Structures are given as C-alpha cells and as structure tokens.
C-alpha cells in the first residue's frame, strides 16, 4: 500500500515519491536497500541460495513496494493520459502551477543564496531552455526524441523519484518527454519503454548515490541547479505558447487559472505536512 501511494505521487508532476516515502517512514530503508544492490549481492544467490539472497537484499521490503509503485503508475498514467488528450490546456495549466510552487519549495531549501547560487540558477535555466529547443522543435506534443535522449531522461527522472522534494515525473515534464512517455506506455511501445526502464534501473543504482553525495557535500549548489531547471521548465511547458487567450472561452480561462492556483496550494500543503 505504501508503494501504491508512492506510485501515485510519481505519476503526478510536482509531487515527489521520495517525499511520500519519507512521510510513510520508509525513506531510510528504501535508500539503504537500493544502495546495497551490488554485484556481490547476486553472488550470494548462486552461492547461498534464494532464501539468503532474499534476506540480504531486503527483497521482502523492496519487491512488494515495487509492485505497488508499478501497479499504481499504470492506473494513474492512463487517467493522466485521458486528461492530457481531452483537456490539454487545463492539464498543462495545473502542471505549470505545480512547477511554480515547486520552485519556491526548492528555493527555501537553499540556506545561503549568494552570487554563486544565483549564477548556477541562471546557467541551469538557460541550458535547459536551449537543450529542449535543440532536442525538440514541436513543443509539448513533439515525438522527435532520440533514444539517447530518452535514456538520459530516464537516468535523471529515476534518481529524482527517490529524493524528497524532487518529482521524477516533474523532471520528465521539465525535459519535455512526459506526454510522449505516457503515450508510449498506453500504446505499448515496448521499444521506447524498454529503453526508459533500462535507463531508470541504472539511474536508481548509480545516480541516486551520486546525488545523495552531492546533497551532503554541495547542498546549496545542487539545489540551485535544480531551481534553475525548474524555472527554465516553466517557459518550456507554458500552456499559452500553444493556445491564444482569445481562442478559449472565459470559463476555460477562469478554470485554467483556478487549476494553476490549486496546484500551488497543493504543493504548499504537502510541504507543510512534510515539515510536521
């Protein structure tokens, strides 16, 4: 059940599965279990058998957790896909609110915001905007993504999924592949899915350890870079790039604003609960 709640969070841009794990009291065990997955662990399987391997790898915890995450991801990805297809303007307005609120949450985590941190924010923002422009020239609905780009997105998103305050699906939105990956999953595009899964597994095993070390040694700089990426993403997914205000009804305009505001309030609420 805890995996189910983490999967729901990971399916929604702006909500961190790592934050949910922290709230549910399993974060430290999750990080420790993933960090202990090494080649030497699999040698135990051939040497001492499945029972010892299962206990050493803490798979009694990890396996049901993953099943819960995957099951809820599949369900909520279908729901998200429906709303993206039917009400794209409203959905992207909601996502924009999530991202704006998340940028504020990340900013508060920076203890000493000085010239160095400000410079990192600017560099990260500009780099992301340029990177997404080069990778895709068709905006939110683009499907011109290379396999290497999908693989890199999986690396970054999977490592972010287990860090409190950083949403893996938000990373996918930032990088412009969120909708494309949802469509690939719905349409059973196993080629794209397999590339993403391979990248995600490698990301969980490797990048999560690197990011954890960066947070311990260079916390403010790391958060500054992430803040820059989030700020840059607002420009990339801004819904009114594709839709003119004059082309939509007053009701849709008001609802879009209300959803963006609701998303901001949602993140603020989650942040307050997380502090408690």
pLDDT digit string, tens, across residues 3-46: 988 888 777 765 667 767 766 778 778 877 887 787 777 788 77
Alpha-carbon distances of 82 from 12, 79, 215, rounded to whole Å: 14, 5, 37
* DSSP-derived secondary structure letter, 235: H
| Among 199, 137, 212, residue whose Cα is nearest residue 172 | 199
- Residue boundaries of the structural domains of the chain: 2-275
Q: Report how far residue 194's alpha carbon sits from residue 185's, in angstroms, rounded to the nearest whole number.
A: 10
Confidence of residue 250 (pLDDT cuts 50, 70, 90): confident
Q: Which residue has the higher pLDDT, 181 or 99?
A: 181
Which two tokens mark 171?
A: 């990373």
In terms of average pLDDT, the best of 64-73, 105-114, 134-143 is 64-73
pLDDT for residue 79: 81
Cα–Cα–Cα angle for 257, 88, 223, rounded to 5 degrees: 70
Q: Residues near 141 by Cβ (< 8 Å), separated by ≥ 6?
A: 179
| Among 196, 193, 267, 259, residue whose Cα is nearest residue 230 | 267
The full DSSP string for 171-204 is: HHHHTT-HHHHHHHHHTT-HHHHHHHHHHHHHII
Helices (H), the chain: 2-11, 17-23, 27-35, 39-48, 50-56, 59-86, 88-109, 115-135, 147-161, 168-174, 178-186, 190-202, 208-217, 219-237, 250-275
Q: How many CB atoms lie within 10 A of CB 224?
A: 26
* DSSP-derived secondary structure letter, 139: G
pLDDT for residue 158: 82
**Average pLDDT estimate for 268-274:** 75
pLDDT for residue 132: 62
Q: Report how far residue 128's alpha carbon sits from residue 37's, in angstroms, rounded to the nearest whole number.
A: 32
pLDDT for residue 68: 93
Cα–Cα–Cα angle for 55, 60, 65, rounded to 5 degrees: 145
Coil/strand/helix, residue 196 = helix
pLDDT for residue 141: 45
pLDDT for residue 140: 43
Q: Which residue has the higher pLDDT, 267 or 199?
A: 199
- Percent of the chain exceeding pLDDT 70 equals 84
Q: How many CB atoms lie within 10 A of CB 214?
A: 15
Which two tokens mark 121?
A: 């924010």
**Average pLDDT estimate for 127-145:** 60
């Amino acid at each position: 059940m805890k995996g189910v709640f983490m999967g729901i969070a990971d399916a929604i841009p702006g909500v961190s599965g790592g934050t949910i794990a922290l709230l549910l009291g399993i974060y430290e065990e999750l990080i420790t279990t993933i960090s202990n997955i090494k080649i030497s662990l699999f040698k135990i399987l051939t040497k001492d058998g499945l029972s010892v391997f299962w206990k050493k790898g803490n798979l009694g915890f990890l396996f049901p957790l993953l099943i819960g995450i995957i099951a809820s991801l599949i369900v909520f990805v279908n729901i998200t896909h429906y709303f993206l297809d039917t009400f794209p303007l409203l959905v992207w307005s909601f996502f924009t609110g999530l991202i704006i609120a998340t940028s504020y949450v990340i900013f508060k985590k920076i203890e000493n915001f000085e010239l160095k941190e400000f410079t990192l924010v600017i560099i990260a923002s500009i780099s992301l905007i340029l990177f997404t422009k080069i990778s895709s020239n068709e905006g939110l609905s683009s499907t011109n993504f290379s396999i290497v780009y999908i693989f890199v997105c999986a690396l970054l998103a999977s490592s972010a999924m287990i860090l409190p305050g950083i949403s893996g699906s938000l990373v996918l939105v930032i990088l412009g592949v969120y909708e494309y990956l949802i469509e690939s999953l719905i349409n059973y595009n196993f080629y794209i899915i397999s590339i993403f899964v391979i990248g995600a597994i490698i990301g969980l095993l490797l990048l999560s350890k690197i990011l954890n070390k960066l947070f311990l040694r260079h916390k403010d700089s790391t958060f500054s870079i992430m803040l820059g990426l989030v700020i840059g993403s607002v420009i990339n997914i801004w819904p009114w790039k594709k839709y003119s205000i004059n082309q939509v009804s007053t009701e849709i305009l008001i609802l879009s604003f209300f959803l963006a505001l609701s998303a901001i309030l949602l993140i603020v609420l989650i942040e307050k609960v997380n502090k408690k």
